[in-house]
Structure 1
């Protein structure tokens, strides 16, 4: 009898763990046109509350390598998000600007909007539903 109860408990735990693993989608972000191997590529997945702030919901700090960078985010819940990425070539952990306010380092944002001035969450947002998805951003 103990063996049967143990087997049932193990089965229920396995089902629960598998259900938790499938509790969201996989978001793949392809960053094209990394121009060189200098510095790092800083990226972040944001919701409206974290957008354009220091930390996103999930952040990445990848060594820059010329070409293409592919990032994978697991178990992303349905909702509205934005994605930002910066090639921090001089490794100072911030975006550098020219005297006229134009960025000196490559960056990209989801939404493909090119507003004059900083983007808003509405400019960059995308919707996660129930299927895995891929975003492609280009420096």
Structure 2
């Protein structure tokens, strides 16, 4: 296969993968201030929830409500966790008994008792482009 054929093959391969991917848009509300970062973690397996995300990234907190695009996800079942690292130290600060001192949220606005909610409360099927609203608590 010559160079041009290889390039055409690669373009077609990446185009077909992207063509079958979905776009997830996160609308994050109740951000306390336009300081620090919003950290986002995307999970696709119950046993890895809150341990090993399939994707993770941060965006600068620029307002008290933000739209964050998550492009290129394959169809499947996902759960989202996020937090506002207001002081920019790269972690979710906690106080007594591990209680978060910075705001956080989960897909479906799921809430846990004495910790993160269960994966099944946060999970959602991504079959087409979706907008998920998450309120920070």
TM-score by length of 1: 0.78
Between 99-108 and 14-23, report the one with greater CA deviation: 14-23
> How many matched pairs?
128
Q: Taking structure 1 as reference, are residues 64 and 51 closer, same or farther at Cα in structure 2, changes over 3 Å only? A: same
- Aligned pairs for 1:61-100 (under 5 A) are 61-100=58-97
Q: Does 1:34 align with 2:31?
A: yes
What is the match of residue 138 of structure 1?
Answer: 135
Runs of 5+ consecutive residues of structure 2 not aligned to the other structure: none
Structure in which a larger fraction of residues adopt helix: 2
Residues 34 and 65 of structure 1 are in contact (CA less than 8 Å); yes or no, is this contact kept in structure 2? no
What is the match of residue 124 of structure 2?
Answer: 126
Superposed CA RMSD: 2.2
> Any idea what SS the aligned residue of 2:25 has?
strand
TM-score by length of 2: 0.79
Moved over 3 A (4+): 12-18
Equivalent position to 1:25, from 15, 22, 36: 22
Per-residue CA shift, 1:90-123, capped at 9, x if unaligned? 2222222221432110000012222212222112
Runs of 5+ consecutive residues of structure 1 not aligned to the other structure: 1-8
Larger-Rg structure:
1
